[in-house]
């Protein structure tokens, strides 16, 4: 299990239709901006996590630096990888306010 840390930039709720049951399900994508890299992390929240109300906790954490345990899925054939939040997917705030700019 990995831990990803960064400032919460966006929380993007998504809905999709289950092809077998026709039920509309929700999930979410969270964009984290790490302090030491120019590439953002995209963390997927599962349907179960969204049903438990984790999206609201992520939206409250916008602009704060958080950590979240994730698992990494890699598909070498299509050169594709993604992070998925583990357990409840609750953000753990590491700093209460917005991140300060780097000193030059």
Give residue-wise pLDDT tens across range 34-86: 988 888 999 999 999 999 999 999 999 999 999 999 999 999 998 888 999 99
The average pLDDT across 83-96 equals 88
Residue 94 lies in a domain: no
**Backbone phi, then psi, for 5, in 5-degree steps?**
-125, 135
Q: What is the extent of the structural domain holding 58?
A: 2-89
Residue 49 lies in a domain: yes
35 within domain boundaries: yes
Q: What is the CATH number of the domain that holds 78?
A: 2.40.50.140
Q: Is the pLDDT of residue 103 over 80?
A: no
Domain count, the chain: 1
Report if residue 98 sits inside a domain: no
Round to whole Å and give the CA distance between 15 and 30: 14
| Residue 36 counted as domain residue | yes
- Asked if residue 101 has pLDDT above 70, the reply is no
* Selected residue with higher pLDDT from 97 and 25: 25
């Amino acid at each position: 299990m990995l831990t990803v840390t960064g400032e919460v930039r966006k929380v993007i709720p998504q809905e999709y239709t289950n092809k077998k049951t026709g039920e509309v399900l929700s999930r979410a994508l969270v964009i984290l901006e790490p302090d030491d890299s120019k590439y953002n992390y995209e963390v997927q929240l599962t349907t179960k996590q969204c049903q438990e109300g984790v999206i609201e906790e992520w939206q409250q954490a916008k602009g704060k630096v958080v950590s979240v345990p994730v698992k990494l899925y890699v598909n070498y054939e299509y050169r594709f990888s993604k992070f998925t939040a583990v357990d409840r997917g609750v953000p753990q705030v590491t700093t209460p306010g917005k991140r300060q700019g780097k000193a030059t």
